[in-house]
Structure 1
Amino acid sequence: MKVLSRISRSLSTPSMMGWVVTAILFILIFLPLLAVLLQIVLPGMFFGEGHFAGWDLLFEIFERELWRKSLMNSLILAIGTAVLGTALGGILAIFRKTVEFRTALWLDFTAWALLILPSFILAQGWVLFSSGKGIANQIFGISWVTEFIFQPFGLIFIMTLCKFSYAYLAVTAALEWNVARYGEAARLCGANVWSAFRTVHFPLILPAFLSGGALIFMDTIGDFGLPASLAAVYSFPTLPYSIYTALYTAPIRFDMAGVLSFYLVGIIIIAMAIQMWVLRKGKFHSLNERAERYKPKKGKYSPLFMIVNICFLLIALGIPLGSNLLVSFMKTIGNGISLNNFTVDHYLSLLNIESTVIQGLIHSIVIAGVAAVVSLGIGFMITYVLVFTNFKLRPLIDSLSIISLAVPGVVLGIGYIFIWNQSWLESINLHLYGTPWILVLASIAGAIPISTRLILSSMTRVPQSLLSSAALQGAPLISRIRYVLVPLIKASLLTAVLTAFGTSVFDLAISTILYPPSFITLPVAINRAFEDLNYGYATAATITSGTAVVIIIMIIKFLGERSFNKSVSHVQEDEYVVNHSKHIEEF
């Protein structure tokens, strides 16, 4: 209790909160990244060799064909996916919140499933479906799918279907509250429905679109699993894949990994600077006393929306998951689709008490749960400092909060080895390398930018005047946050913690680099099965564990929203009692 009271007092002022989050981001993100970037000019410095190598290596990216092509491919892939994914996710979120149709919950399930399923599994499903001897050709006789998928726009198409969830969840959370009088005022002035939406409603949810687009861009440009999986049948090198090649081919090129990581970080910083510039140019405060929760309305086009939604879900989730599901029941892929080739042995093997998948699932859920809760608290403090304070290091905090998405998890993991594998840390009991705690720290670092961006989309809509009014009444900072700010953005907080949890469970790159030899995790267990060419067992493990995690998320989401609805109804009942009592007194 004494520790909690000290923490509460330390965060009692916005400036102190700013310094606390700056220190946290410096330790968790900046130092590991700096350790990797130092390999550009001081290769081998963490191995006792610190000879200055000069700055010429930075410019070799424009001279080496592979490096230059990787940079261009990453930019094309990230920009194309960000544009299409943001548009797709935003449109689906608007329909989900405004139109009532029967398969709406299926859309929520699909968004969460695509968010937590590892990208290399999704890529494997598309490869099994689209390859020359894949499901599309063998079962459906569709030959054009191969040419469509295995080309740049086809890869953007796949990435869009895998990454749109960020925009969907961000816009859905931003549409939790509806201020109808703004649209009504526009209609009274002669605006039609489309004009009112374009000029009034859309500008108010623009921060959510920008936050979702930024997350899609960062996650795409730093994604390793999907481009690497497709590279087996289609040559499309990206920066993360080239970094992986530098780290896992002889001789190991830490300097090359540092150069490519430097450009990844630079691209992300530029993208986030553009986003913050747009947010600062406009005012997005829209919540007031007349705000109500969005209630979907059933219209004459609801059956059409249901049909369109089913078709979309069959493509986005049905193809990759269905392909993996089909393979999980096959004895061998080479024998094709026949009754003699189907089996349930892969699923039965998962029930073994000594199964590494079950052990890895338990370990990954615990690590992801801790990372989600801690990153939610850190992300909330970061967002508060960015939105409601004039802390002088705000630009630095914003950059550090999203920098872990700028580099692949492989590079971040290497940085953690450099930082936490120092002999002098043993004397102060902080030698974390080789223990599960380093996985927890790395998972927190990876979840911080996700929590921050999702909370930011809703916190920017809360007027400063609400907190100022509470401050004038003598409420301290903790009370203003607890009783004013948190209730208004509760939906975004729930979305942020569940998103961070889902993405942390299947983090392959960090787990592969940092997991202790005697501490297996779920991504490592699945990846080992793939490396051993045991595709049936690997896909069975992925489907089983992925379904379990999605069910956990949906249950927590349902309970959280139910609690939120009860709190809203209680507030409305209290207001009714107060107003009714006033009428009686007046009478």
Structure 2
Amino acid sequence: MVRRQGRTIKPMLRNHEDRLGWSASLLLAILVLIPLAAVIIQVLLPGVFFGEWRIGNLSLLLDIFKRPLWQKSLENSVVLAVSTTLFGTLLGGILAMVRSTWRFPTARLLDTAVWMLLIAPSFILSQGWVMFAAQNGFAARLLGWDWVPGLIFQPAGLVLVMTLSKFPLAYLSVRAAMEWKVEQLSEAAKLCGASKFRVWRTIQAPLLLPAFLAGAALVFMDTIGDFGLPASIAAIYRFPTLPYSIYTAVYTSPIRFDMAGVLSFYLVLLISLAMLLQFYALRRSRFDFLTGRAVAAEPKPVGRYGMLLAGGNVLFLLIVIGIPLGGNLLMSVFETQSAGFTWSNLTLSHYASLFEGRQELFVGIRRSLLVSACAAMLGLVVGVMVSYVLTYSQFRFKRGIEVFSLVSLAVPGVVLGIGYIFVWNQKWLEPFGLMLYGKPAILVLAAIAGAIPVITRVMVGAMAKVPRSLLDAAQLQGTPFLQRIRLILLPLVRGALLSAALAAFGSSVFDLAVNSILFPPNYMTLPVTINKAFEDLDYGYASAATVFGGGIVILIILLLELLLRRKGRQTT
């Protein structure tokens, strides 16, 4: 009897999972694949999204090597991304190996700083560096370091800033790889007379190579698609990159969709190459051995050099955290940058200006919170669907779903925004009420696309800990599919649901790229308001708005987490 029921259950499960798989595929196609394909189609068939049917001149793709601005944007992006990848991966990898090998004071502060840099929006970090390194910035006026502006506002200086902002991606990749180690291999090599350096070079380094490659791919993708740094430094130093030139092509007169399409094509091409490298690294990331036993890696005491290492770590944190975040905080309470640390220069007037007359900040905060809340809730539904398919189903195309979810993480917001303009600005959609360009709904769709990879990564890890047998047992009792999800799976991953929703909410609020490309007329959001004030050189207002707006978002996240987790404990 049980065997007969088991035979009937599998086809039923397969039908439900196939429908869920096709639904998840359709949603990911609408949110990610079709807008991305639209950017490529615009190059091949220019004007097709505006009613013009003509074959594009593919020689336009080669114009990037002829037109000065296009060529300079490509060169700057490649130089910045490659250099940051090299130095960021090296820095992150070394810090991860030091942190995993030795135990020293302030080591946990390094982990905290890494997550702060990872979560903080890049344009806010860049603004802090600009206020520190400008001609009238903190370095020159307060510390007398007149050489800092010349150091930072050049290609090598921007590489330094990006390296100190992007190294956490490589740090986390290598740190995760060093949590476990196969000690028998090192011990065998030492028994054969190998020195410590040779053991590291011949055994440990090859085992860590996939983690370094994966971290390098992440650093490259995040750097080459970064919109925050060029947007922040544009008022002081001209350094066109592919993302910023794509933005200016759409939001300057005349609008240059041909330029936006070509530059987006090359940006997607470069990111695709980086993703192929990452997939290659992940494929080579397993090393299995007969009788090989992995043990948890425990940092060892560093001995007499502990205080030296702790002091170096504090100095490093003062640079990577103190300059970008401290710069925003100081500027928000300084009357002027040049007056220094004096009582007469301390003021709350910048915060007062947030409440006096200029109410666009509060309107922008309200709009950003509304858009992010809708994106977090709707994105959570899509993310749970995708995670279920990846974890439990036998859907034949689930590998493609995994790729789609990763693509949305890798594709820069400016490229996704351009694709959304092409797709949702069609006249034939107007009778259906789906001509979304110029409406707040398009911001929600783009935010959902950005939230899906974050939610999916969190939920896949949580669902992997829930045995499939629990769902199968409920199916044997005749429980419908949706009830199995609602009554069994979701309660077991309640904590991950909350974490995923809050992470998606927080990341959506400060998404400058998508908001800058897609915000409707007279619909200013929080990141656009802050960036506009910064472009107008109103540093005090921009810094106060950053601290105030960021504080509100953090407070909301902490309160929601406290209330919902407490409610969850009471119900259990």
TM-score by length of 2: 0.77
SS at match of 2:42: coil
1:141 to 141, 144, 154: 144
The reply to whether residue 217 of structure 1 matches residue 220 of structure 2 is yes
The reply to whether residue 249 of structure 1 matches residue 247 of structure 2 is no
**Aligned pairs for 1:517-532 within 5 A:** 520-532=524-536
Question: Cα distance, 1:154 vs. partner?
Answer: 1.7
RMSD: 4.7
Structure 1 counterpart of 2:543, one-letter code: T
Give the match for residue 577 of structure 1.
Answer: none
1:107 to 110, 115, 128: 110
Taking a change above 3 Å as real, the CA distance of residues 552 and 423 of structure 1, as seen in their structure-2 partners, is same
Give the match for residue 72 of structure 1.
Answer: 75
Measure, in 1, the Cα distance between the counterparts of 2:534 and 2:368: 18
Give the match for residue 85 of structure 1.
Answer: 88
The reply to whether residue 448 of structure 1 matches residue 452 of structure 2 is yes
Give the match for residue 47 of structure 1.
Answer: 50
TM-score by length of 1: 0.76
Taking a change above 3 Å as real, the CA distance of residues 397 and 23 of structure 1, as seen in their structure-2 partners, is same
Taking a change above 3 Å as real, the CA distance of residues 174 and 304 of structure 1, as seen in their structure-2 partners, is same
Measure, in 1, the Cα distance between the counterparts of 2:336 and 2:14: 58
Question: Cα distance, 1:416 vs. partner?
Answer: 1.8
Taking a change above 3 Å as real, the CA distance of residues 453 and 149 of structure 1, as seen in their structure-2 partners, is farther
Question: Cα distance, 1:260 vs. partner?
Answer: 0.7
Give the match for residue 242 of structure 2.
Answer: 239
Question: Cα distance, 1:439 vs. partner?
Answer: 1.7
Structure 1 counterpart of 2:320, one-letter code: A
Asked if structure 2 preserves the Cα contact closer than 8 Å seen for 1:115 and 1:502, the reply is no
Measure, in 2, the Cα distance between the counterparts of 1:131 and 1:75: 25
Give the match for residue 7 of structure 2.
Answer: none
34-43 or 154-163, which deviates more: 34-43
Give the match for residue 401 of structure 1.
Answer: 405
Measure, in 2, the Cα distance between the counterparts of 1:51 and 1:248: 25
The reply to whether residue 62 of structure 1 matches residue 65 of structure 2 is yes
Question: Cα distance, 1:158 vs. partner?
Answer: 0.5
Question: Cα distance, 1:193 vs. partner?
Answer: 6.6
Question: Cα distance, 1:265 vs. partner?
Answer: 0.8
Any idea what the Cα deviations from partners look like across 1:344-376, whole Å, max 9, x if unmatched? 111234467984434433543454455456656
Give the match for residue 325 of structure 1.
Answer: 329
Give the match for residue 190 of structure 1.
Answer: 190
Asked if structure 1 preserves the Cα contact closer than 8 Å seen for 2:140 and 2:146, the reply is yes
The reply to whether residue 228 of structure 1 matches residue 231 of structure 2 is yes
1:309 to 305, 313, 331: 313
Structure 2 counterpart of 1:187, one-letter code: E
250-259 or 135-144, which deviates more: 135-144
Asked if structure 2 preserves the Cα contact closer than 8 Å seen for 1:113 and 1:550, the reply is no
Measure, in 1, the Cα distance between the counterparts of 2:528 and 2:227: 15
Question: Cα distance, 1:510 vs. partner?
Answer: 1.3
- Structure 1 stretches lacking a partner, 5+ long: 1-8, 567-587
Measure, in 2, the Cα distance between the counterparts of 1:292 and 1:362: 49
- Structure 2 stretches lacking a partner, 5+ long: 1-11
SS at match of 2:53: coil
2:548 to 538, 544, 553: 544
Asked if structure 1 preserves the Cα contact closer than 8 Å seen for 2:271 and 2:410, the reply is yes
Measure, in 2, the Cα distance between the counterparts of 1:342 and 1:370: 39
SS at match of 1:39: helix
Any idea what the Cα deviations from partners look like across 1:54-78, whole Å, max 9, x if unmatched? 2221121122232222212211211
Question: Cα distance, 1:474 vs. partner?
Answer: 11
Asked if structure 1 preserves the Cα contact closer than 8 Å seen for 2:210 and 2:284, the reply is no
Taking a change above 3 Å as real, the CA distance of residues 134 and 535 of structure 1, as seen in their structure-2 partners, is closer
SS at match of 1:164: helix
Question: Cα distance, 1:278 vs. partner?
Answer: 2.8
SS at match of 1:511: helix
Give the match for residue 31 of structure 1.
Answer: 34
Asked if structure 2 preserves the Cα contact closer than 8 Å seen for 1:218 and 1:405, the reply is no
Give the match for residue 506 of structure 1.
Answer: 510
Measure, in 1, the Cα distance between the counterparts of 2:133 and 2:378: 40
Asked if structure 1 preserves the Cα contact closer than 8 Å seen for 2:50 and 2:426, the reply is no
Taking a change above 3 Å as real, the CA distance of residues 354 and 334 of structure 1, as seen in their structure-2 partners, is closer
Structure 1 counterpart of 2:442, one-letter code: I
1:342 to 340, 343, 346: 346
Any idea what the Cα deviations from partners look like across 1:467-494, whole Å, max 9, x if unmatched? 79999999999999x999x99x999999
Structure 2 counterpart of 1:326, one-letter code: L
The reply to whether residue 413 of structure 1 matches residue 417 of structure 2 is yes
- What is the aligned-residue identity percentage? 49
Asked if structure 1 preserves the Cα contact closer than 8 Å seen for 2:173 and 2:211, the reply is yes
Structure 1 counterpart of 2:269, one-letter code: G
Taking a change above 3 Å as real, the CA distance of residues 97 and 431 of structure 1, as seen in their structure-2 partners, is farther
Any idea what the Cα deviations from partners look like across 1:219-272, whole Å, max 9, x if unmatched? 211112202333444343211122123222222110110011011111111111
Structure 1 counterpart of 2:120, one-letter code: L
Measure, in 1, the Cα distance between the counterparts of 2:51 and 2:523: 29
Question: Cα distance, 1:320 vs. partner?
Answer: 2.1
SS at match of 1:441: helix
Question: Cα distance, 1:549 vs. partner?
Answer: 4.2
The reply to whether residue 357 of structure 1 matches residue 361 of structure 2 is yes
SS at match of 2:421: helix
319-328 or 553-562, which deviates more: 553-562
Structure 2 counterpart of 1:259, one-letter code: V
